[in-house]
Structure 1
Amino acid sequence: MTLPFLDRRHDPRGRRVLVTGASGTIGRALGERLARAGAHVVGLDLRPAGDEPFPVLACDVTDDAAVAAAVAEALTLLGGLDVLVNNAGIGGPAPAEYAPGDEVRRQLEINLLGTWRVTAACVDALVAARGRVVMVASRMAVMQLPLAAAYGASKRAMVAYADALRLELGTHVGVSCVYPSAVRSPIHDSTRAAGLSLEGMSVYEPLDGVVGAIERTALAVRPRRDVTTTRKGAVEFFLARHLPALTDRIVARTLSARAAAGAFEGAALAAGVVERNGGRA
């Protein structure tokens, strides 16, 4: 049951929204939905496709000067800012047992520090508008999956950053985190290419449901601190927060079964996991 006073939303018409990762699967769908509802939407993306139904500015979120310039241009186009959606992010193979290399640094730089840079550049405008920040985190921010340590670490750190931001700006700015599971998109391509696909360990969610949850969070009159995107996700979130040892056992058992069944056969980065779990190398 949804309590009406918790589901009240701002009229999207005229709301000024900035979306990062706006040319990707989630960002584009979200920006299109909000723009269709009457919001003024501008996006940031490393490589704008050029055919998005709203303006998207080229921006490398790992570059301080590029972020400052792109955010300034976006705020000029929007005439201020009511909602910032930090959606930009990447994944990739990164087992925890190996020393961090370029792949780990790239994910932390984009997923965590890119979010931090863009948000910091938007703070004054958000405070002036008593606006909203929405972090598109991940279920992996609370329930880590194996062989993807950098992604989980970056998303958990993003949530920690959101917590600090809420404490500092909470008198004027709402800060919410949304926790989707996997959505079918190119973000999984590099992990799949390395033979470390998490098929069978993470259930894909419909894109429309994830975008709907982000939209509701962005427009809610009373911002919720943490938002899950499915009923299953809500259960997983609760268990991961309150019974972490149980979720560890469930994930470890699933990993062992997949390794034993040959799911990671031929994947060099999973060789240790396969050997330790009695699987086929």
Structure 2
Amino acid sequence: MSTSRTSPGHLPGRRRDARGLRVIVTGASGTFGRAISARLAGLGAHVIGLDLAPRADDPVEVLACDITDDAGVPDAVAAAIAKLGGLDLLINNAGIGGPAPAELPPGAEVRRQLDINLLGAWRVTAACVDALVQSRGRVVMLSSRMAVMQLPLAAAYGASKRALVAYADALRLEIGTHVTVTCVYPSAVRSPIHDSTAAAGLSLEGMSSYEPLEGVVDAVLRAALGRARRDLATTRRGAVELFLARHLPSVTDRIIARTLSGRVRSGAFDGAELAAGVVARHARKP
């Protein structure tokens, strides 16, 4: 094979044509994964999804894969690559959220989020590296604004997404001669990922501004098909937040702390056992 990019869809110096691109999407049966897979397939890409629980109405073929299974991931990835005949693009989309106050000891919920959001992406990517290097492909990591601007009561999610960015940075240094690695930073999108947090009485309604799913999909496609990018926000507001969180973190800390205080005073966390410490400390503030 030539050392230049020869895989389908490569248009030097321009946005790549998605037609013929060979793509794996993790978490392909979830809210983001279905939308991303459907959009890419509609543009002519060959997409295989990986998901713990494929659905009969998935828009693309989805293989059952538990990304927390060290032994199972390489087999599932190999099967997907065999079906595709190679790999040009990996989209690490799979992820979960849940309540996890930083002041409490890490339990099963914390380990679950780290295992899926960080180590799951790591396992899948490692299984894809050889094929991506051969095609001079791309990796897109679905991170989060919380990777740089942490919200309270959800420490595991933010920690897992910040660690995912660190993993992407290391990966880029190691394989960046042949493979583009981009992190995409959505804010909050209404989806079932927030259900467990809301059920625990820790809803962060009012802490974040929701953005449309379509905007996140657009950003993923820019990362996948546009010019090489290291980091990509999904909205203009998100780009500003990303800048502030990285360069003026004390400013964003004050904004979030003030917003949290307002939420506590409004009674938003009354009766939530996991937020009892936060509520009590705010009640004792001078």
TM interval, short-chain normalised: over 0.9
Instruction: Give the aligned length.
Output: 273
Deviation per residue, 1:136-168 (Å, 9 max, x gap): 000000000000000000000000000000000
Cα distance between partner residues in 2 of 1:50 and 1:224:
35
Cα distance between partner residues in 2 of 1:149 and 1:118:
24
The alpha-carbon deviation at position 8 of structure 1 amounts to: 3.2
Preserved CA contact (<8 Å) 1:41 1:54: yes
The answer as to 2:153 corresponding to 1:131 is no
Structure 2: state its 5+ residue gaps. 1-12
Preserved CA contact (<8 Å) 1:135 1:176: yes
Deviation per residue, 1:44-90 (Å, 9 max, x gap): 00001121121000000000111011100000011000000000000
Q: Secondary structure at the match of 1:134?
A: strand
Equivalent position to 2:282, from 261, 264, 277? 277
> What is the identity, as a one-letter code, of the residue corresponding to 1:87?
N
Q: How does 1:158-177 map to 2 (within 5 A)?
A: 158-177=164-183
The answer as to 2:75 corresponding to 1:69 is yes
Equivalent position to 2:64, from 58, 65, 77? 58
The answer for the alignment partner of 2:148 in structure 1 is 142
Cα distance between partner residues in 1 of 2:71 and 2:217:
30
The alpha-carbon deviation at position 216 of structure 1 amounts to: 1.3
The answer for the alignment partner of 1:4 in structure 2 is none
The alpha-carbon deviation at position 122 of structure 1 amounts to: 0.1
The alpha-carbon deviation at position 12 of structure 1 amounts to: 0.3
> What is the identity, as a one-letter code, of the residue corresponding to 1:223?
A
TM-score w.r.t. the length of structure 2 is 0.94
Cα distance between partner residues in 2 of 1:56 and 1:244:
40
Q: Secondary structure at the match of 1:84?
A: strand
Cα distance between partner residues in 2 of 1:258 and 1:39:
45
% identical aligned pairs = 75
The answer for the alignment partner of 1:251 in structure 2 is 256
Cα distance between partner residues in 2 of 1:202 and 1:95:
17
The answer for the alignment partner of 2:237 in structure 1 is 232
Q: Secondary structure at the match of 1:114?
A: helix
The answer as to 2:260 corresponding to 1:260 is no
The alpha-carbon deviation at position 215 of structure 1 amounts to: 1.0
Cα distance between partner residues in 2 of 1:240 and 1:8:
31
Q: How does 1:1-281 map to 2 (within 5 A)?
A: 8-220=14-226, 222-278=227-283
The alpha-carbon deviation at position 170 of structure 1 amounts to: 0.5
Cα distance between partner residues in 2 of 1:8 and 1:162:
24
Q: Secondary structure at the match of 2:71?
A: helix
- Supply the RMSD in Å over aligned alpha carbons: 1.2
> What is the identity, as a one-letter code, of the residue corresponding to 2:281?
R
Deviation per residue, 1:72-123 (Å, 9 max, x gap): 0000011000000000000000000000000000000000000000000000
> What is the identity, as a one-letter code, of the residue corresponding to 1:97?
E
Deviation per residue, 1:232-268 (Å, 9 max, x gap): 1011000000000110010001001100110001100
Cα distance between partner residues in 1 of 2:131 and 2:56:
27
> What is the identity, as a one-letter code, of the residue corresponding to 1:85?
I
Cα distance between partner residues in 1 of 2:236 and 2:180:
24
> What is the identity, as a one-letter code, of the residue corresponding to 2:104?
Y
Preserved CA contact (<8 Å) 1:50 1:56: no
Cα distance between partner residues in 2 of 1:219 and 1:57:
24
Cα distance between partner residues in 2 of 1:200 and 1:64:
38
Q: Secondary structure at the match of 1:158?
A: helix
